[in-house]
A = this chain, B = another copy of it.
Amino acid sequence: MDWSDLRIFLAIAREGTLGAAARKIGQTQPTMGRRLRALEQALGQTLFQRTTDGFVLTDEGTAVLRHAERIEEEALALQRHASGAETQLDGLLRLSSSDWFGTVMLSPVIAAFGKRHPRVTVELLTDARLYSLPRREADLVFRIKPFSEPEIISRKLLHIPYALYGKKGSKPPRAGDGRGVRVVTMNVEFADMPDAAWLKRALPNAEVASRSNNRQAQAELCASGGGLAVLPRPLGDRDRRLVALDIGTSPPGRDTFVGYHRDLKRLARLRALLDLVIERLAGAHP
């Protein structure tokens, strides 16, 4: 049995078709089919049922999958461990954060880091979905919730104050009512976020003009006269078309945390970037 074929088996099991699996791994569809056949032959069993809608695992295939997953986990740990021991200051770093935090807060830090360490390539991923640290889809993750996984090293980075913003020149509405006021707020999916809840309490009768899961889009909507919005101050204050509105009460702020896998603790370039991030972002408010 060729151990590499297990990786192909995993991809097929997850994607369901040879083509999709091939794209994921970076090989071609015929190769996937041939290697799978080789694996099945080596094990003496049929791992997949060839149905009209793709490859579905047989019972034996399911059993093999469990083993293959454990092997993959171990292989990923091995690679992380190896990367963690790299002491050179070149290579790739992948960061993951929310959209506005990436553009507003991280971009300048990344730019400064790039000047100091030109041989390190920094990839900034801003995506709704969370990138996995254990699978090393990202090396450094910035997010609002603290990390609870034991193998993740994390620290609180800084506190982000929030404020209610309106288009420049608009007047603060009266707190407690909000009748006739149009607001831009979070996606329904994130309706339970503290700032959305605060907005609902402060202006209960306001009309929701539009929603977005993207803070920058919210800011843009707000600046274009789409309504009032609760925004992080670092984001709202830099847009000269926006003005913070004081209605007596303030929206809650949020802590931002940063985390990375402990296998990468000794990765020099990660350490260097993290130090710079802390200096620039957390340094002001330690």
Contacts and interface: CB of A to CB of B under 8 A. Distances in A.
Interface of A: 1-4, 6-7, 43-45, 60, 63-64, 67-68, 70-71, 74-75, 77-79, 81-83, 85-86
B78 A67 contact: yes
A37 to B, nearest CB: 15
A139 to B, nearest CB: 15
A22 B85 CA distance: 29
Contacts of A6: 3, 75, 78
A10 to B, nearest CB: 10
Contacts of A3: 3-4, 6-7, 71, 75
Given A70-B74, A74-B71, A64 B81 contact: yes
Given A7-B3, A44-B86, A86-B45, A77 B67 contact: yes
Contacts of A85: 45, 60, 63
Contacts of A63: 81, 85
Nearest to A78: B67
Contacts of A79: 1, 43
B44 A83 contact: yes
